[in-house]
Amino acid sequence: MVTRSRALCQTASWRDELAAAYRTLPPLLAALDLEPERLPGLAPAGARDLGERRFPLLVTRTLVRAMRRGDPRDPILRQVLPLASEQQPAPGFVADPLAERAAGADSGLLRKYRGRALLLLTSACALHCRYCFRRHFRHDALPPLTARLDAAFDQLAAAPGIDELILSGGDPLLLDDAALDQVLARATALGSLRRLRIHTRLPLALPSRITPALCRILAERPWPIAMVIQTNHPRELGDEARAALERLAASGLTLLNQSVLLRGVNDDAGTLAALGETLFDSGVLPYYLHQLDPVQGAAHFQVADARARALLAEVRERLPGYLVPRLVREHPGARAKTPL
Ligand SMILES: *Cc1c(COP(=O)(O)O)cnc(C)c1O
Ligand code: SF4
């Protein structure tokens, strides 16, 4: 009884924390001691609070506490700040850069790579990353979760050779415990999986979501689970995030990180090297460093391939090999991510 009521209270607390996230610019800038005038290129007044109708400003308080007050170029702020230039077309930058719509994203199940299937569980996130390649998805057009799960698990049961299920989104850990437990139970019932993977930013964006109850749900599975978090800058890994990652590691999960190479956020070798070391301090191994997907609205983050390669070469000289991520780009239709 005691455990249960404590679990309920923790559930309430991550939901409260999510409800208290910043969704408009004025209170965010006030919290950071920043005048709008110090942020040239902000989305114009009117559009300012929304950024864009379907992809408004959103960032949790945990991440805002990790930003440097008074710094208009803070690398965590850059990731979530809507700029006017997002509205301008840039050559080559399109709504669906990975052609996921054609690959089946409308049903929520993506089967692009051999042996792996990716399930989009929810469209909700705890923060809106301006460079997100799924930022233009009409997630509201997805059928309700139960119907999608029925269809996805029917497809999975009929598909030979899927040994890894990847839960993605949005952020799959924004589902509540009961729904996640059900997804994992259905995945177990398939009988064919060898492992499961979860893509999430919540350990750093909403660490209170990593409750003991959630850790138990994840630990009780018959196959190993890899959790791939996404951090782009070492300051995203504060004390709360590290504690959440420790709880996950103690539950037997393998922890990996993917980053996106972003101009003005992490496009220098010192930051990338510090990220690798900070990740390892938290029990996480660097996995991928992605070249930006050319999604409309994200052109201001682009780093040229030649510079990306040079940065990685420098990181390779500074760090042990196991802390160097693989630099990759995703090409629509390719059989795997392409090393650069
Ligand atoms: C990236 C990706 C995967 C997983 O690729 P890994 O190289 O195994 O990490 C699977 N499905 C889709 C649709 C992806 O974009
Ligand atoms: S899906 Fe991931 S990258 Fe995209 S907005 Fe959500 S948390 Fe950010």
Distance CA(325)–CA(38), nearest Å, equals: 34
The CB of 110 under 6 Å from ligand 1? The reply is yes
**To test ligand 2's pocket by mutation, which of 125, 131, 199, 261 has the most ligand atoms within 8 angstroms of CB?**
125
Helix (H, G, I), strand (E, B) or coil at 338: strand
Helix (H, G, I), strand (E, B) or coil at 286: strand
Distance CA(204)–CA(206), nearest Å, equals: 6
pTM over 0.85: yes
**pLDDT tens digits, residue range 286-318?**
999 999 999 999 999 999 999 999 999 999 999
Distance CA(8)–CA(28), nearest Å, equals: 29
Sheet strand arrangement including 109-110: 109-110, 116-122, 164-169, 195-200, 225-230, 254-260, 285-290, 326-329, 338-339
Q: Check if the beta carbon of residue 211 is closer than 8 Å to that of residue 14.
A: yes
Percent helix / strand / coil, the chain, rounded to 5: 45, 15, 40
Q: How confident is the model at residue 138 (pLDDT cuts 50, 70, 90)?
A: low
Distance CA(135)–CA(158), nearest Å, equals: 31
Nearest to 173 by CA among 228, 236, 234: 228
**Ligand 2 atom nearest residue 128's Cα:** 5
Residue, of 322 and 9, whose pLDDT is higher: 322
Query: Concatenated DSSP letters for 103-163?
Result: HTGGGTEE--STTEEEEEEES--SS--TT-TTTT--GGGSPPHHHHHHHHHHHHHHSTT--
Any residues with Cβ below 6 Å from ligand 2, and which?
125, 127-129, 132, 134, 169-171, 201
Average pLDDT over residues 207-223: 97
Determine phi and psi for 243, rounding to 5 degrees. Answer: -65, -40
Ligand 1 center to 206 CA (angstroms): 24
Taking the alpha carbons of 317, 320, 325, 327 in that order, is the dihedral positive or negative? Answer: positive
**pLDDT tens digits, residue range 222-251?**
999 999 999 999 999 999 999 999 999 999
**Ligand 2 atom nearest residue 260's Cα:** 3
**Ligand 1 atom nearest residue 118's Cα:** 11
Ligand 1 center to 119 CA (angstroms): 11
Give the closest residue (by CA) to ligand 2 atom 8: 129
Q: Check if the beta carbon of residue 298 is closer than 8 Å to that of residue 134.
A: no
Alpha helices in the chain (DSSP H): 2-19, 25-31, 61-65, 75-80, 100-103, 145-158, 177-190, 202-205, 212-219, 239-250, 269-281, 305-318
Find tokens 């791939």 and name the residue: 228
What is the per-residue pLDDT for 47?
Answer: 56
> Is 139 a residue whose pLDDT tops 70?
no
The per-residue pLDDT of the chain, averaged, comes to: 92
**To test ligand 1's pocket by mutation, which of 106, 107, 112, 194 has the most ligand atoms within 8 angstroms of CB?**
112
What is the per-residue pLDDT for 4?
Answer: 47
Residue, of 202 and 55, whose pLDDT is higher: 202
Average pLDDT over residues 271-295: 98
Ligand 2 center to 126 CA (angstroms): 8
> Is 7 a residue whose pLDDT tops 90?
no
Ligand 2 center to 191 CA (angstroms): 30
Which pair of tokens denotes residue 7? 């679990």
